[in-house]
Amino acid sequence: EDKVVQSPLSLVVHEGDTVTLNCSYEVTNFRSLLWYKQEKKAPTFLFMLTSSGIEKKSGRLSSILDKKELFSILNITATQTGDSAIYLCAVEARGNEKLTFGTGTRLTIIP
């Protein structure tokens, strides 16, 4: 059974701090790992990672995948209050398009 574990479960930091969110996974026939940001409604897509060692970057957010260690991190630099959300990690296996989600990390940014 595919499994995704995220840590920490929750994190509270001050505005301007840098945070690192972790995601480890077990999946048969890995295809991709995805990061989402969820505020009050449905998740919004952040990154899709398929290859090890290649950093994906979007503004203050970046992410990287380690397929050997079955691990990914999501970094957010110079955090802002608008970054407060639940960050979800999900993996997709080849052969079906189903996503297995982790429990998420609830990030709170204090002004």
Chain positions contacting another protein, by CB under 8 A: 41-45, 48, 88, 90, 96-104, 106
Of 13 and 99, CB closest to another protein: 99
CB atoms within 10 A of CB 108: 13
Q: C-beta of 77: minimal distance to another protein in Å?
A: 25
| The pair of three-digit structure tokens given for residue 79, joined into one six-digit string | 């955090």
Of 71 and 101, CB closest to another protein: 101
Of 4 and 64, CB closest to another protein: 4
Q: 57: Cβ–Cβ under 8 A, 6 or more apart, which residues?
A: none
User: Can you name the residues that pair with 75 across neighbouring β-strands?
Assistant: 20, 62
Q: C-beta of 31: minimal distance to another protein in Å?
A: 9
Assess contact for 74 and 46: CB atoms under 8 A: yes
